[in-house]
Amino acid sequence: MTWTFVQDERLGIPLPELEKEWEEYTEEERAEILLRWEEIRGTIPDHVKRLERIIIRKQNQLDVEDNFKISCELNSEIAELAGTINELHLWFRVNQDITASAAHH
């Protein structure tokens, strides 16, 4: 098999690892990849909600934190989580891009 999905620990979802260009896969292979990706993609909104809840908890901690060092750590953690959410949003849109690209060929 010239494709697989590998768990990304930071994002919390498996990401595609394709050994060939998308156009080089057969229609059947593309359909298999897209089906698997759709299953994974469907879990992304729940991951985002979970991360948003963590951010809210950390923001609430930050609101009452007097220790500057801890405040800086919380800010850094919040920024990292926000970056992860942004990346998940990008991955959520990947299927739309692939489908649109495939329709133009």
B/e letters for 18-52, b = 16+ CB within 10 Å, e = fewer, are: eeeeeeebeeebbeebbeebeeebeebeebbeebe
CA distance 88 to 98: 16
Encode the chain (105 residues) as per-residue pLDDT tens digits: 799 999 999 999 999 999 999 889 999 999 999 999 999 999 999 999 999 999 999 999 999 999 999 999 999 999 999 999 999 999 998 865 555 454 444
CA distance 47 to 85: 8
CA distance 34 to 22: 11
CA distance 37 to 55: 27
In sequence order, the β-bridge partners of residue 14 are 7
Show the beta-strand stretches assigned E in 19-61.
Answer: none
Question: Where do the domains of the chain lie?
Answer: 3-103
